Structure 1
Amino acid sequence: MLENLYNKYNLQNVINASGKMTILGVSKVPNSSVEAQKFGDQHFFVMKDLIKNTSQHIAELLGAPAALVVNSASAGIAQAVAGVIGRGSQYHAYHSFSKKITKREIIIPKGHNVDYGTPEEVMITLGGGQVIEAGYANMCSPEHIEMQITENTAAILYVKSHHAVQKSMLSIKEALKVAHDNSLPLILDAAAEEDLLKYVKLGVDIVIFSGAKAISGPAAGLIFGNKEYINWINLQSQGIGRAMKIGKENILGFTNALEEYLKSGSENGQHMLQRLKPFVGELNKVPFITAQVIQDSAGRDIYRADVTINNNSPYTAQEVITQLKKGDVAVYTREYRSNEGIIEFDIRAVTKEDMDIIVTKLNQIFSKKEGN
């Protein structure tokens, strides 16, 4: 049985209470998408036609001028940067780092140059861009962006993510206005966001989504927006994009997952709250912890269990996190606030049975005596 692959490769079974995270394989792919992937695996296609026609189909679904499927959101950032630098030049596709091409500056708010698994600046640089930070770690206004624009600016890049600084930051709409007032494109890294359609309505030039996060598809990235810019990015398949190409099976699997997502959406916040209520009640019965429900820090319609490790606890939050990962079933949590003594449990991929296991493991951890 396939379940034995855990044993074959000596892998732990994982309860993913961390969220849609790359380190855990991101999402569970719907059965219909697995079937679409299987069809892709077992048939041949003229790849340029498959890419062109599925991309056109996706653009129609979104009401966007154009779309393109790539192999990840990270690849999307690098290829988008290369695209706006190359501006449709075949010379650039073949000689992407040529010194003849000088318009390479990509302006990004300083508080958006975050590490999401790799720093944003790595992907910008991989695409041939020169990172220009605007503003400060705790603020960035439209004026801060404006003052960094030069004759060598190729684009403005904005990151919509819980990783990014939230307070005192200009909005997407404000960044878009600065870009358009200066005849520049706005690249939006919205990898883990939930609502694709609002960015179409805003008229963002280049929008990048992860195919495997909110959409719950196989490994893929989606780029959509202005047709000319998307065509420039598509040309990068003959340049740096060759090293980032996506397979036929994932194109078909992702396209199916997107169709299902647009029909049904992801679990909404109200349903999460209903599932969280009994879970938080059980967590509050565990010694040394206090649990409550909190909303996602970036304002998404996502709710989580927020667990504070009390001051009289025999273990720190980081020690609890480490112990949760031990055993036949490893529990992975959101660790961003462990230095504050807080552990977050994201339940989007967690079942009632998983919640029971989490509560049991926590009780076992805190029932141990120090030194045993």
Structure 2
Amino acid sequence: MSSESQSEKDVYSKYNLKRVINASGRMTILGVSTPRPEVVDTVLHGLNEYFEIKDLVDKTGQYIAKLLKVENAVVVSCASAGIVQAVAGLIIKDDRDLLFNLHSSDKYVPREIIVPKGHNVNFGAPISTMVSLGGGIAVEAGYANECKPEHIESLINPDTAAILYVKSHHCVQKSMLSVAQTAVIAKKYNIPLIVDAAAEEDLQTYYQQGADLVIYSGAKAIEGPTSGLVIGRQQAVEWLKLQSQGIGRPMKVGKEGILGLTKAIELYVTEPKHETGQQMVIRMTPFIENLNALDGISATVVWDGAGRDIARAEISFNTNVIGKSAAEVVSFMKQSDIAVYFREYKVNEGKVEADVRSVTSEQLDIIYNKIKNIIQGAK
């Protein structure tokens, strides 16, 4: 392991914190990602300066929009706050009465937000809760395992305020219409399209396909501080920005977050350091080979279910051989001094996935040895 400064050691000892190896990916429950030093420096500078915040929001938004070749952009506190404020912005627009009284007003405005049923997921909190917080009413289109253009079109009526498309590995992937198909419907009926693309890596494609607002997590693929990014059409983003005087007030992002994410986006666009899926495969290969040499364990490469260029190690546990279920192994992996977190979506099938984007080769060895000790009866 790399040497640590005294301050790093003090954080763990002072608060009695458990060390974590994050083999689950860019997950909020583990702090998401680690920004580059240049981003950390920008955050520190921002903390020690004063700005007219509206000016900072507007000017950084213009800078980001120019970088990404979009009409408008704004930094928000996180992707879920982006959903809430996007919904509120498209419902309220510039109605000052609703802006200040969304929580109590019974004024009629279109409030229905059409969401493919397979996209109304729990990403750590329910999508429908974000819609409700923004004053919307989530209306599910299609079925849990299928949504076609006609399913959305059949629900469009004078009460429709927007369509929300969630691009995520959490969502059902099969038999779902694409963002481009959804954009065609939105344009046909002159209805705004919101795309929640929190963990996606391409910061332009959904806007180019016709979305009015696209929402990203600032701390996932972009590797910025805790924050979110909303890009889109000029007027739609301006309506969203008005929410800082309404429901967006408790979701405000600090000056350091605004500057830090802006710097992270600049680096993401101009100096990409992304590890390709094939490079991940090469780095995982010794780890997978070691696991396959253990009785009752099999490991193989799998690719991201949402189509991103991310390779992972899928590890299967044969309960009859090792005497423990996958769920029990997962529980043991989180114990002792260093907790190891996997992607646990298939644990009921006896499988987990190891995401290596935030894992060093040394940490892969630790993971292997922990698994080996667990199946041999030690913790």
Tell me the distance in 2 between the aligned counterparts of 1:117 and 1:82.
21
**Counterpart for residue 149 of structure 2:** 142
Quick check: 1:14–1:332 contact (8 Å CA) kept in 2?
yes
**Ranges in structure 1 where 5+ consecutive residues have no aligned partner:** none
Tell me the distance in 2 between the aligned counterparts of 1:346 and 1:23.
15
**Counterpart for residue 78 of structure 1:** 84
Are 1:334 and 2:339 matched, yes or no?
no
Quick check: 1:286–1:359 contact (8 Å CA) kept in 2?
no
Residue deviations 1:87-122 (CA, integer Å, cap 9, x gap):
222222111241113310000000000000001000
Are 1:34 and 2:40 matched, yes or no?
yes
Quick check: 2:218–2:224 contact (8 Å CA) kept in 1?
yes
**Counterpart for residue 121 of structure 1:** 128
**Counterpart for residue 281 of structure 2:** 273
Quick check: 1:215–1:266 contact (8 Å CA) kept in 2?
no
Quick check: 2:47–2:255 contact (8 Å CA) kept in 1?
yes
Are 1:297 and 2:305 matched, yes or no?
yes
Quick check: 2:179–2:206 contact (8 Å CA) kept in 1?
no
1:200 CA displacement: 2.9
Residue deviations 1:245-282 (CA, integer Å, cap 9, x gap):
00001111111111111121522112111111111111
- Counting matched residue pairs gives 370
Quick check: 2:82–2:229 contact (8 Å CA) kept in 1?
yes
Tell me the distance in 2 between the aligned counterparts of 1:262 and 1:303.
22
Which SS does the other structure have where 1:222 is aligned? strand
Tell me the distance in 1 between the aligned counterparts of 2:205 and 2:138.
27
Aligned residue among 308, 326, 330 for 1:317: 326
Quick check: 1:215–1:261 contact (8 Å CA) kept in 2?
yes
Aligned residue among 250, 256, 264 for 2:257: 250
Tell me the distance in 2 between the aligned counterparts of 1:31 and 1:234.
29
Residue deviations 1:7-49 (CA, integer Å, cap 9, x gap):
1111111000000000000001111111000001111111111
Residue deviations 1:64-87 (CA, integer Å, cap 9, x gap):
000010000000000000000012
Tell me the distance in 1 between the aligned counterparts of 2:75 and 2:95.
21
Are 1:351 and 2:360 matched, yes or no?
yes
Which SS does the other structure have where 1:240 is aligned? coil
Quick check: 1:186–1:204 contact (8 Å CA) kept in 2?
yes
Quick check: 1:63–1:200 contact (8 Å CA) kept in 2?
no
Quick check: 1:279–1:355 contact (8 Å CA) kept in 2?
yes
Aligned residue among 7, 17, 30 for 1:2: 7
- Of stretches 350-359 and 264-273 in structure 1, the one that deviates more from structure 2 is 264-273
**Which aligned segments of 4 or more residues in structure 1 are displaced greater than 2 angstroms?**
none
Tell me the distance in 1 between the aligned counterparts of 2:273 and 2:204.
12
**Counterpart for residue 209 of structure 1:** 216
Tell me the distance in 2 between the aligned counterparts of 1:266 and 1:91.
46
**Ranges in structure 2 where 5+ consecutive residues have no aligned partner:** 1-5
Aligned-residue CA RMSD (Å): 1.1
Are 1:59 and 2:65 matched, yes or no?
yes
Tell me the distance in 2 between the aligned counterparts of 1:134 and 1:2.
52
Aligned residue among 308, 318, 325 for 2:316: 308
Tell me the distance in 2 between the aligned counterparts of 1:282 and 1:209.
36
- Of stretches 307-316 and 21-30 in structure 1, the one that deviates more from structure 2 is 307-316
Amino acid at match of 2:232: G
Residue deviations 1:185-234 (CA, integer Å, cap 9, x gap):
10000000011121232131100000000001100000001111001101
Quick check: 2:167–2:197 contact (8 Å CA) kept in 1?
yes
- Of stretches 257-266 and 352-361 in structure 1, the one that deviates more from structure 2 is 257-266
Quick check: 1:203–1:225 contact (8 Å CA) kept in 2?
no
**Counterpart for residue 158 of structure 1:** 165
Which SS does the other structure have where 2:268 is aligned? helix
- Of stretches 256-265 and 133-142 in structure 1, the one that deviates more from structure 2 is 256-265
Aligned residue among 194, 198, 207 for 1:191: 198
Residue deviations 1:156-188 (CA, integer Å, cap 9, x gap):
000000000001111101111111111101000
Amino acid at match of 1:92: L
Quick check: 1:318–1:339 contact (8 Å CA) kept in 2?
yes
Amino acid at match of 2:366: I
Quick check: 1:335–1:343 contact (8 Å CA) kept in 2?
yes
Residue deviations 1:45-72 (CA, integer Å, cap 9, x gap):
1111111100100000000000010000
Amino acid at match of 1:46: E
| TM-score computed with the length of structure 1 as normaliser | 0.98
Tell me the distance in 2 between the aligned counterparts of 1:49 and 1:220.
18
| TM-score computed with the length of structure 2 as normaliser | 0.96
% identical aligned pairs:
52
Tell me the distance in 2 between the aligned counterparts of 1:62 and 1:294.
31
1:311 CA displacement: 4.0
Residue deviations 1:116-158 (CA, integer Å, cap 9, x gap):
0001000000000011011011101100000111101000000
1:359 CA displacement: 0.5
Which SS does the other structure have where 1:260 is aligned? helix
Amino acid at match of 1:305: A
Amino acid at match of 1:217: G
Amino acid at match of 2:147: C
Seen in structure 2, the aligned counterparts of structure 1 residues 265 and 64 have a Cα distance that, compared at 3 Å, is farther
